[in-house]
Structure 1
Amino acid sequence: MARFSKQDWLDLGLTRLSREGASGLTVEALCSAAARTRGSFYHHFKDHDAFLEQLLLAWKQRNTLDVADAIMQQPEEKRAQTLSDIANMLDQDLERAVRKLAQSNPIARGIVQDVDEVRTEFVVGLYCNMGLEETLAREIAQLEYAAYVGSQIIWPGMTASDRIRLDQRFASMVAKAFLKD
Structure 2
Amino acid sequence: MTSNDVSSGTWLNLGYKLFSEEGHEGLQIERLARILGKNKSGFYHFFGDKDTFLERLMELHLEREEALAPKFIVLEKIDSQFIRLMVENKEAILFQTQLVKNRDLKLFQETYHHTNQVIEGVVQSVWVKYLGVSEEVSMKYWRLIRDTFYARVTSKTFNQEWLLDFIEEAKSILSEAQNNSASS
Do they superpose with TM above 0.5?
yes
- Superposed CA deviations along residues 40-92 of structure 1, whole A, max 9, x for unmatched, are 22333243212101112223333x32332212244x3x4x3233442355146
The number of equivalent residue pairs is 170
Shift in alpha-carbon separation, 1:21–1:146, aligned structure 2, 3 A: closer
- 1:45-84 matches, within 5 Å, as 45-62=47-64, 64-74=65-75, 76=76, 78=77, 80-81=78-79, 82-84=81-83
Name the counterpart of 1:33.
35
Name the CA distance, whole Å, in 2 between partners of 1:20 and 1:151: 15
Root mean square deviation, CA, Å: 3.3
Q: Secondary structure at the match of 1:102?
A: coil
Name the counterpart of 1:140.
141
Q: Secondary structure at the match of 2:153?
A: helix
Name the CA distance, whole Å, in 1 between partners of 2:170 and 2:102: 29
Tell me if the contact between 1:98 and 1:108 (Cα under 8 Å) persists in the aligned partners. yes
Tell me if the contact between 1:120 and 1:145 (Cα under 8 Å) persists in the aligned partners. no
Gaps of 5+ in 2: 179-184
Name the CA distance, whole Å, in 2 between partners of 1:30 and 1:86: 29
Shift in alpha-carbon separation, 1:16–1:142, aligned structure 2, 3 A: closer
Gaps of 5+ in 1: none
Name the counterpart of 1:151.
152
Name the counterpart of 1:123.
123
Name the CA distance, whole Å, in 1 between partners of 2:22 and 2:139: 35
TM-score (norm 1): 0.71
Q: Secondary structure at the match of 2:38?
A: coil
Tell me if the contact between 1:52 and 1:108 (Cα under 8 Å) persists in the aligned partners. no
Name the counterpart of 1:113.
113
Shift of 1:129: 6.2
Tell me if the contact between 1:84 and 1:167 (Cα under 8 Å) persists in the aligned partners. no
Tell me if the contact between 2:72 and 2:122 (Cα under 8 Å) persists in the aligned partners. no
4+ long deviations beyond 6 Å? none
Tell me if the contact between 1:85 and 1:164 (Cα under 8 Å) persists in the aligned partners. no
Shift of 1:163: 2.2
Shift in alpha-carbon separation, 1:168–1:57, aligned structure 2, 3 A: farther
Shift of 1:167: 0.7
Name the CA distance, whole Å, in 2 between partners of 1:145 and 1:23: 24
Name the CA distance, whole Å, in 2 between partners of 1:96 and 1:137: 21
TM-score (norm 2): 0.70
